[in-house]
């Protein structure tokens, strides 16, 4: 069966393994698992987020700056950086007027200003902050479902020390025709995996195009690290595929996806 039939790579399809916010599912639906196991709850609607802002400042200039943001971007989108929540970036717009209220001599306050996030909208500048803009896509999601699909070969979930996912998807047959894939929504990515003496080399394809090779071999076991970085990928739904290049096992641990 082609992997497109297994993963249903449509952004709004309820079985899409990369749809919605990880560990935040306001609307769920009981569905059958995409490739194995019992039914589970899957998000079927991405409602985004809203942020209520409150400011108080001695100088009116801060209120004027915020008002300028609203007037400039109420019909468009811009990137908001939530420094109080670790610096996470959000794309959206202010949805109500910004009205500074004087509270005393050279004191102004702004309360209840609402910023609406537009889920999965591209940022005005290609994101590059891996600490704050990227998210982790693991072999197992927070439901315990395997997010990697075996296209061909003998792929087995295996507990491996030092991996990001705790359990990696390991190809034990390591034939040149073997392949596994992961569908994600976002920009570019970093491919993370542990290395060791029993592993070989794989080529990596993105949307059917070879974007690099990954060497999983090392003289001794080394914890998961970023083995391949692919940048300047347009925002969208992408299919990442791993294929062995030599007759040794390869593994799929985790992706750090730029959103």
What is the per-residue pLDDT across 71-99, written as a single tens digit (0 to 9) for each? 767 667 777 777 766 677 788 888 877 77
| Residue-level pLDDT at 2 | 40
| Residue-level pLDDT at 85 | 63
8 Å CB contact between 218 and 195: yes
Q: pLDDT band at residue 31, thresholds of 50, 70 and 90?
A: low
Q: What is the percentage of the chain residues whose pLDDT exceeds 70?
A: 76
What is the per-residue pLDDT across 158-188, written as a single tens digit (0 to 9) for each? 999 999 999 999 998 878 889 999 998 889 9
| 130-258 CATH fold | Jelly Rolls (2.60.120)
- 108 vs 193: which has the higher pLDDT: 193
| Half-sphere exposure at residue 236, Cβ-oriented, CA atoms within 13 angstroms | 8
**Phi/psi of residue 173, nearest 5 degrees:** -80, -35
What is the three-class DSSP state of 85? helix
Q: Is 202 exposed, middle or buried (0-12, 13-18, 19+ CB in 10 A)?
A: buried
DSSP secondary structure letter of residue 177:
T
- Calpha distance 56→70 (Å, rounded): 17
Distance, C-alpha 196 to centroid of its chain:
27
8 Å CB contact between 47 and 26: yes
Q: 253 is written with which tokens?
A: 């641990």
Domain assignments of the chain as residue spans, ordered by start: 50-117, 130-258
């Amino acid at each position: 069966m082609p992997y497109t039939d297994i993963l249903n790579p449509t952004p709004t399809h309820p079985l899409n393994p990369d749809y919605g916010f990880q560990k935040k599912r306001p609307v769920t639906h009981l569905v059958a698992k995409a490739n194995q196991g019992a039914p589970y709850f899957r998000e079927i609607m991405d409602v985004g987020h809203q942020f209520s802002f409150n400011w108080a400042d001695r100088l009116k200039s801060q209120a004027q700056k915020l008002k300028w943001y609203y007037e400039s971007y109420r019909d468009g989108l811009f990137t908001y950086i939530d420094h109080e929540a670790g610096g996470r970036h959000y794309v959206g717009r202010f949805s109500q007027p910004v009205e500074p209220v004087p509270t005393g001599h050279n004191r102004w306050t702004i309360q209840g200003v609402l910023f609406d996030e537009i889920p999965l909208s591209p940022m005005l500048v290609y994101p590059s902050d891996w600490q704050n803009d990227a998210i982790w896509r693991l072999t197992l999601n927070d439901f315990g479902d395997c997010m990697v699909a075996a296209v061909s070969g003998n792929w087995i979930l295996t507990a491996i020390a030092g991996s990001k996912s705790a359990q990696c998807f390991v190809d034990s047959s390591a034939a040149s025709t073997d392949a596994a894939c992961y569908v994600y929504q976002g920009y570019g990515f970093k491919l993370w995996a542990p290395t060791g003496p029993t592993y070989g080399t794989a080529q990596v394809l993105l949307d059917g195009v070879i974007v690099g090779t990954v060497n999983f071999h090392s003289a001794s076991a080394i914890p998961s690290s970023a083995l391949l970085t692919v940048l300047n990928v347009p925002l969208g739904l992408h299919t990442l595929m791993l294929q062995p290049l030599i007759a040794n096992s390869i593994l799929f641990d985790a992706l750090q996806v730029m959103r």
